[in-house]
Amino acid sequence: MDAGEQFEKLVGIMHRLRAPGGCPWDGEQSHESIKPYLIEEAYEVLEAIDSQDDKELCAELGDLLLQVVFHAEMASETDRFGIADVIQSICDKMVRRHPHVFGDTEVSGSAEVLQNWSKIKAQERRSSGDKSALAGVPRAMPALLRAHRIGEKASHAGFDWPDVEGVIAKVHEELAELEQAIACEGPERIEAELGDLLFAATSAARHLGVRSEDALDKATDRFSTRFRAMEAQLNSSDQEMGSLSDDEKNRLWEEAKSQE
């Protein structure tokens, strides 16, 4: 079967699962009840990409596609929209946002493509309720990723530091304000200043061409690897982490780093 036939088969399977006499669990679900699975499947796609496992990526993309079909099937049951409307919507959007491919617009490279994309999205926003340059970034996004995207949108609107040196200075400024809050302020102020520091750090990442989410993921992986190496060393000598002095912990940490 070709791609179109396979897609129709998937839609048919989902319809059968939701129909009377189908799967009791699938039939009981709502948009709200399956929200966690959409996020979970998206993260599993990312993990498959990171592992560079094509077979796993293929399977996980299928799981993610199923979530789209599931939501569309539920909406079609109350005549709100169906999978054809979902496809039509994204087709219209892609054609509209690529006038250099489907129209007469000429571009000199990918940078101009992004500029045009932002202008087209701004025109779309003017016909919607939220006309802010920051519109379109869901609050439900992970906080670090949302901060990165908000910074990108503000930059596209012309509000940004001219170079990375200005951002690094802002990071130092926010760190000093956090230190002052720790010394003199209460928990709410400390939380606010820590948030400002994290937001400034995402701006630094953006100026350096680094994805904040990826950088933190890799840092967490490095920490986990080193900590597990420390645990293995302690297990071999029947020691526990809590019984070590700070100097001993630092020595084990440096040894774990040197093994990488």
Q: Are residues 236 and 202 located together in one domain of the fold?
A: no
User: Do 6 and 22 form a contact (C-beta atoms < 8 A)?
Assistant: no
Q: Which among 37, 43, 64, 222 has a CA at the least distance from the CA of 145?
A: 43
Domain boundary among 49, 78, 96: 96
Q: What would the DSSP string read from start to end of the chain?
A: --HHHHHHHHHHHHHHHHSTTS-HHHHH--TTTTHHHHHHHHHHHHHHHHHT-HHHHHHHHHHHHHHHHHHHHHHHTTTS--HHHHHHHHHHHHHHT-HHHHSS---SSHHHHHHHHHHHHHHHHHTSS--STTTT--TTS-HHHHHHHHHHHHHHTT-S-SSHHHHHHHHHHHHHHHHHHHHH--HHHHHHHHHHHHHHHHHHHHHTT--HHHHHHHHHHHHHHHHHHHHHHHHHTT--GGGS-HHHHHHHHHHHHHT-
Q: Which two tokens stand for residue 32?
A: 């709200």
Q: Are residues 54 and 86 located together in one domain of the fold?
A: yes
pLDDT at 135: 83
pLDDT at 156: 84
pLDDT at 67: 97
Tell whether 119 is covered by a domain.
no
Q: Are residues 140 and 187 located together in one domain of the fold?
A: yes
Q: Is the pLDDT confidence value at 15 over 90?
A: yes
Tell whether 179 is covered by a domain.
yes
Q: Is the pTM of this model over 0.75?
A: no
d(CA 207, CA 243): 43
Tell whether 158 is covered by a domain.
yes
Q: Is the pLDDT confidence value at 119 over 90?
A: no
Q: Are residues 44 and 65 located together in one domain of the fold?
A: yes
Q: Are residues 33 and 67 located together in one domain of the fold?
A: yes
3-state SS string for 155-188: HHCCCCCCCHHHHHHHHHHHHHHHHHHHHHCCHH
Tell whether 108 is covered by a domain.
no
Tell whether 204 is covered by a domain.
yes
Q: Are residues 9 and 92 located together in one domain of the fold?
A: yes
Q: Are residues 160 and 206 located together in one domain of the fold?
A: yes
Q: Are residues 205 and 246 located together in one domain of the fold?
A: no
Domain boundary among 52, 75, 96: 96
Q: Is the pLDDT confidence value at 122 over 90?
A: no
d(CA 106, CA 87): 27
Q: Is the pLDDT confidence value at 227 over 90?
A: yes
Structural domain span for residue 145: 132-210
Q: Is the pLDDT confidence value at 257 over 80?
A: yes
pLDDT at 134: 86
Q: Are residues 82 and 10 located together in one domain of the fold?
A: yes
Domain boundary among 70, 96, 122: 96
Q: Are residues 158 and 194 located together in one domain of the fold?
A: yes
- Between 123-132, 164-173, 241-250, the lowest mean confidence (pLDDT) is in 123-132
Tell whether 125 is covered by a domain.
no
Q: Are residues 38 and 12 located together in one domain of the fold?
A: yes
pLDDT tens string 67-117: 999 999 999 999 999 999 999 999 999 999 999 999 988 888 888 888 888
Q: Are residues 196 and 227 located together in one domain of the fold?
A: no
Say how far residue 174 (Cα) sits from the centre of its chain: 25
Tell whether 106 is covered by a domain.
no
Tell whether 126 is covered by a domain.
no
pLDDT tens string 128-174: 677 788 888 888 888 999 999 999 989 988 899 999 999 999 999 99
pLDDT tens string 22-69: 999 999 999 999 999 999 999 999 999 999 999 999 999 999 999 999
Q: Is the pLDDT confidence value at 123 over 80?
A: no
Torsion sign, CA atoms 167, 149, 212, 94: negative
Identify the CATH number of the domain in which residue 8 sits.
Answer: 1.10.287.1080
Domain count, the chain: 3
